Amino acid sequence: MIINEMDLSDAVIVKSSKLKSAVWNDFDKVRKGEIHVAICRHCKKRLSGSSASGTSHLRNHLIRCKRRASCNGVGAAKRVETTPLELAIVDQTKHEHSDASVINSGLDQRRSRFDLARMIILHGYPLTMVEDVGFRVFLRNLQPLFEPVVFERVESDCMEIYAKEKHKIFEDLDKLPGKISISVDVWNGGGGSDDSDEFLCLSAHYIDETWELRKRVLNFFMVDPSHTDVMLAEVVITCLMEWDIDRKLFSMASNRTPPFGENVANKIRDRLSQNKFLYCNGQLFDVSCGVYVINQMAQESLQSCFETINKIRESIRCVKSSEFIQESFDERRDLCIDDSARWDTTCTMLEIALEQKNVFSLMKQRDPDSCVSCPSDLEWERLETVVGFLRVFVQVTNTFTKSSNSCLTANIYFPEICDIHLRLIEWNKSPDGFISSLAVTMRKRFDEFWNRNHRVLAIATILDPRFKMKLVEYYYPLFYDSSASEFIEDISEYTRALYNEHSVGSLLASSDQALDWQENHHHHHHHHQHEDRLREFDKYINETTTSPGQDSKSDLEKYLEEPLFPRNSDFDILNWWKVHTPKYPILSMVARNVLAVPMSNVSSEEDAFESSPKRRISDTWCSLRPSTVQALMCAQDWIRSELESS
């Protein structure tokens, strides 16, 4: 048999420690039966590797090998350094398949397969790439002994990775010391057209035992168009029950965009409230995304000046097409065309145009037939006001998205949202009917958001030791005038109620632990019956009794009476509560749950400024089976999160 035609898929690599000659630094020696083959590591040419053949023919080949010459020459590529992310991936996978059988003396086929599957999941590659000719040639040249896989095999490997990672997430959620908040996002299928498939993405937000804020995707499923609101609500509740977290929820954040509209959110809240699973009778459960409402107001602002913006956009295109005209404009800030899909770029385009509006007028005066179209003085004036709106929206959105952390604690949002509230009140007083009308439209949308979220936002800022009640007491008179005291008292009442429910829960948890101890050590099984009968008694004791020598003031009262913590840019609120948990054991439980509420479900700056609120799944993944899509999307999030925290 000719060596080059031999099938070496089941060949065994001869250990390099047995090979004495230096020539073997450039060859791999493999054995199939009684035949030994030497494979050049540079050009993959096969030569005789038997001891009887010696090594002279191998040395002669190295002299002629062009691949080896190019690697050692001046034009040789520099060695690529291993990045920390690559090291983390290696560390993450090296123990995962420790029980796998090692095939072909050193090549672990199973681990290599799972490394390939993890790579596909991590980077969102199409599963069909494993059958692409170019990819197979690359693998064969890189490692001839690796057995190629087909689509069905890599899909199965991805599903196995998903199952293992899901088990780890389930265990993490099960041992959490606090509650979990859920966010619901709507995704479009490939292409993002109106008739494409829609998916719901459920994510868990929580603060773990180390006081780190985490976000994990739990489910990613296709929405059945035939489902009613009731049916869709049941699907979501079933997902929560399968994760065993329906009793551990604190809040649910959504944009209330179809198919997950207001009715669906209300039905989920009502169902959980009926089972007594929610704090404050579910009044703090339903929240919405702050970035989304800002995006909506920005779109309304742009739409109000649609014709003027189009004039400027077309004029800039005209200027860009002529070097002669372009020389008339200030070179320090070049005119730019916006990306219509991102409204922040439109804001930038208009800002620069406003700085040079006199040049537009001058160009039109010099050449009335010019393609430069100059807005009127009134249009410029109104546009300047609208750009002022947009500038505020961009700044606030950047605050919510340009963070070193992928998730923000809920206390961040209140002062920024309050600033927008004040500006809307101011804009509403504009003598220009065009501006005041636009402000009324935006104010209506903002009020919907504010009425649904202001309690959670306020309680979150109260739990910030730099502000406590003071920020609420500062802003509310500016919003509500003579009615401010009523709204401030409403916030105080909800804060106390939330604290008291956590206090009762803490007492009941201690009681449950005591009963478990008695049952385990004394086998008194009847204590379960006593536990149910005495729950109301436990509440009574908690509300009316003070232990000997114990301060009668609650954690909440002590916390609010102490001076404000100094404000500084590097303040870490989670670390503050971690350190002060022994001092405020019950209030720290409240902080753990409230600060994890996702007041923004936008994951990146790009998503925040997108004109469309729905994210899109790739065409290659969208075409797969729904169970595979869920496995890939969830596993991708889990693997990335683990790498980021490693």
Residues 516-540 have pLDDT tens digits of 434 444 444 444 455 456 667 766 6
CB atoms within 10 A of CB 91: 11
CB contact at 8 A, 142 and 49: no
303 and 244 in a common domain: no
CB contact at 8 A, 135 and 150: no
Asked whether residue 393 is domain-assigned, the answer is: no
Q: Which residue has the higher pLDDT, 565 or 196?
A: 565
440 and 301 in a common domain: no
- When the pLDDT of each residue in the chain is averaged and rounded to a whole number, the result is 85
Count up the domains in the chain and report the number.
Answer: 4
CB atoms within 10 A of CB 152: 10
Q: What is the pLDDT of residues 75-112, one digit of tens each?
A: 333 344 445 555 555 555 555 544 444 444 468 999 99
313 and 246 in a common domain: no
425 and 340 in a common domain: no
Q: Residue 126: pLDDT band by 50, 70, 90 thresholds? A: very high
φ, ψ dihedrals at 22, nearest 5°: -65, -20
Residues 146 and 139: their CA atoms lie apart, in Å, by 7
Asked whether residue 106 is domain-assigned, the answer is: no
265 and 162 in a common domain: yes
CB contact at 8 A, 633 and 205: no
326 and 270 in a common domain: no
Residues 420 and 293: their CA atoms lie apart, in Å, by 11
Asked whether residue 267 is domain-assigned, the answer is: yes
**What is the predicted pLDDT for the residue at 87?**
53
Among 313-322, 501-510, 526-535, 558-567, the least confident range = 526-535
Most confident of 181-190, 571-580, 599-608: 571-580
| Those residues with Cβ within 8 angstroms of residue 366's Cβ, 6 or more apart along the chain or in another chain | none
Q: Residue 629: pLDDT band by 50, 70, 90 thresholds? A: very high
Residues 540 and 453: their CA atoms lie apart, in Å, by 32
Asked whether residue 620 is domain-assigned, the answer is: yes
262 and 205 in a common domain: yes
Give the pairing type, strands 180-188 and 615-616.
Answer: parallel
Q: Is 291 helix (H, G, I), strand (E, B) or coil?
A: helix
**Helical segments of 124-189, H only:** 133-142, 151-174
Partnered with residue 187 across adjacent β-strands are: 199, 615
Residue carrying the six token digits 């095939």: 103
* Burial letters 582-600, b for 16+ CB under 10 A, else e: eebebbbbbbbbbbbbbbb
**What is the predicted pLDDT for the residue at 71?**
56
166 and 296 in a common domain: no
The answer on pLDDT for 373 being more than 80 is no
CB contact at 8 A, 463 and 594: yes
Asked whether residue 296 is domain-assigned, the answer is: yes
337 and 244 in a common domain: no
Q: Is 385 helix (H, G, I), strand (E, B) or coil?
A: helix
| Those residues with Cβ within 8 angstroms of residue 188's Cβ, 6 or more apart along the chain or in another chain | 196, 197, 198, 199, 614, 615, 616, 617
Using a CB cutoff of 8 Å and minimum separation of 24, what contacts does 546-550 make?
A: none
* 114, containing H or E segment: helix 109-123
Q: Taking residues 302-331, what's their average pLDDT?
A: 81
Asked whether residue 641 is domain-assigned, the answer is: yes
285 and 174 in a common domain: yes
Where in the sequence is the domain holding 46, given as residue range(s)? 12-53
Q: Is 251 helix (H, G, I), strand (E, B) or coil?
A: strand
Residues 95 and 101: their CA atoms lie apart, in Å, by 13
pTM above 0.85, yes or no: no
Asked whether residue 238 is domain-assigned, the answer is: yes
Residue carrying the six token digits 């004394």: 522
330 and 413 in a common domain: no
448 and 355 in a common domain: no
The answer on pLDDT for 404 being more than 50 is no
Asked whether residue 273 is domain-assigned, the answer is: yes
Q: Is 362 exposed, middle or buried (0-12, 13-18, 19+ CB in 10 A)?
A: middle
